[in-house]
Structure 1
Amino acid sequence: MFMQLKRALRERSAISRGSIPPWSACGRAVFCRFLWRVLMFLTILFVALQLLSAFHQFWNNKQTSSFLTSDRNAMCQPKNHVFFLKTHKTASSTILNILYRYGDTHNLTFALPENIYQFSYPHFFMSHFVKGMKSRRVTEFHIMCNHMRFQGLEVRKVMPLDTFYFSILRNPVSMMESLFTYYKSLPVFSNFKTLEDFLLDEGRSYSDTMPGNNYARNILTFDFGFNNSAPSGEAELDERAEALISAVESEFHLILILEYFDESMVLLRHALCWTLDDVVSFRLNSRSEKTRKSLSVEMTEQVKKWSSLDWRLYQHFNASFWRRIDTSLGRTKLQEEVELLRARRAVLEKTCLSEGGAVDPAHVLDSSLKPFQYGQAVIQGYNIRPGLDNDTHRFCHRLIMPELQYTRALYVKQFPDIAAKKDEGKKRPTPGKHIINAKRNSTSAPVTENLNSTVQVNMPILAKDNMDVKDNANSAEAKQHKT
Structure 2
Amino acid sequence: MAHRFHRMEYNHHLSEVGLTLKGCLVLVMGRRYKSIARGLAVGTLLTSYMLVLYCLSTPAVKQKFRVALSCSNQRLVHSSTHTSQNRTGPSGECEPKVDIMFMKTHKTASSTLLNILFRFGDKHRLEFAFPDGRNDFFYPSPFLCSQVKNYQPGACFNILCNHMRFNEYEVAKLLPADAAYITILRDPAELFESSFHYFRWAIPLTWGIRGETKLTEFLRDPRSYYSPESYNSFYLKNLLFFDFGLDNNLEPEHPLVERGIQSLTNRFNLVLMAEYFEESLILLKDTLCWTMEDLLFFKLNARKHSSVSRLTPELRAKALEWNGADWRLYQHFNTTFWAKVEVYGRTRMEQEVRELRKKNAEMAAICIEGGVAVDARMIWNRDLVPWQPVGESSILGYNLRKNIDPKYRELCRKMLTPEIQYMSELGVNLWLTQLWGWVKDTIS
TM-score range, shorter chain: 0.7 to 0.9
Matched, 1:364 2:359: no
- In structure 2, the gaps of 5 or more residues are 1-88
Indicate the SS of the match to 1:242: helix
Out of 240, 246, 257, the residue aligned to residue 220 of structure 1 is 240
Q: State the match for 2:45 in structure 1.
A: none
Q: 1:430 to 1:246 in 2, by over 3 A?
A: farther
Aligned to 1:320: 336
Distance 1:359 1:261 in 2: 21
2:279 maps to 263
Q: Which residue of 1 aligns with 2:364?
A: 349
Q: Give the alignment of 1:386-465 within 5 angstroms.
A: 386-412=402-428, 427-429=435-437
Superposed CA deviations along residues 371-398 of structure 1, whole A, max 9, x for unmatched, are 1110456101111111224431111000
Q: What is the distance in 2 between the residues matched to 1:377 and 1:180?
A: 16
Partner residue of 2:228? Answer: 208
Give me the whole-angstrom Cα distance separating, in 2, the residues matched to 1:148 and 1:383.
Answer: 30
Cα 1:156–1:135, aligned 2, differ >3 Å: closer, same or farther? Answer: closer
CA distances 1:134-154 after superposition (whole Å, capped 9, x unpaired): 289xx5311010000000000
2:398 and 2:124 mapped to 1: Cα distance? 25
Aligned position for 2:10: none
Q: How does 1:37-436 map to 2 (within 5 A)?
A: 74-134=92-152, 140-185=156-201, 186-192=203-209, 193-231=213-251, 235-236=253-254, 239-327=255-343, 329-375=344-390, 376=392, 378-412=394-428, 427-429=435-437
CA drift at 1:191: 2.2
The normalised TM-score by structure 2 is 0.74
Give SS of 2:184's match. strand
Q: Cα–Cα, structure 1 residues 361 and 345, in superposed 2: closer, same or farther, change >3 Å?
A: same
Deviations 1:315-355 (A, max 9, x none): 1101110001112x110000000000000000000000111
TM-score normalized by the length of structure 1: 0.69
Q: Which has the higher contact order (CA 8 A, sep 6+)?
A: 1
Partner Cα distance (1:275, 1:223) in 2: 30
Q: Deviations over 1:233-280 (max 9, x none)?
A: x642xx132112101011111100000000000000110000011011
Q: Counterpart amino acid of 2:115? A: N
Alpha-carbon spacing, 1:424–1:181, altered in 2? closer, same or farther (3 Å): closer
**2 CA distance for matches of 1:90 and 1:426?**
23
Deviation at 1:427, TM superposition (A): 2.2
Alignment of 1:463-482 (within 5 A): none
SS of 2:425's equivalent in the other structure is helix
**C-alpha displacement at 1:399, in angstroms?**
0.2
CA contact 2:189–2:316 (8 Å) conserved in 1: yes
Q: Is the 8 A contact 1:354 1:383 kept in 2?
A: yes
Offset from partner CA, 1:24-45 (integer Å, 9 cap, x none): xxxxxxxxxxxxxxxxxxxxxx
1:480 match: none
Runs of 5+ consecutive residues of structure 1 not aligned to the other structure: 1-71, 413-418, 434-483
- Secondary structure of the equivalent of 1:166? strand
Divergent runs of 4+, >6 A: 422-425
For the residues of structure 2 that align with 1:425 and 1:408, how far apart are their CA atoms?
Answer: 11
RMSD: 2.1
CA displacement 1:96-145 (0-9 Å, x = unmatched): 00000000011111000022300000000001111111289xx5311010
* Partner secondary structure for residue 435 of structure 2: coil
Q: Give the equivalent residue in structure 2 for 1:43.
A: none
Instruction: Tell me the CA shift for residue 424 of structure 1.
Output: 7.0
> Residue type matched to 2:348 in 1?
K
Which amino acid is 2:341 matched to?
A: I
Query: Distance in 2 between the 1:241 and 1:251 partners?
Result: 16
Deviation for aligned residue 1:429: 4.9
In the TM superposition, residue 190 of structure 1 has moved relative to its aligned partner by 2.1
Contact 1:116 1:408 in 2 (8 A): no
- Identity across aligned pairs (percent)? 38
Give distance in 2, aligned partners of 1:404 and 1:144. Answer: 16
Equivalent residue letter for 2:130: L
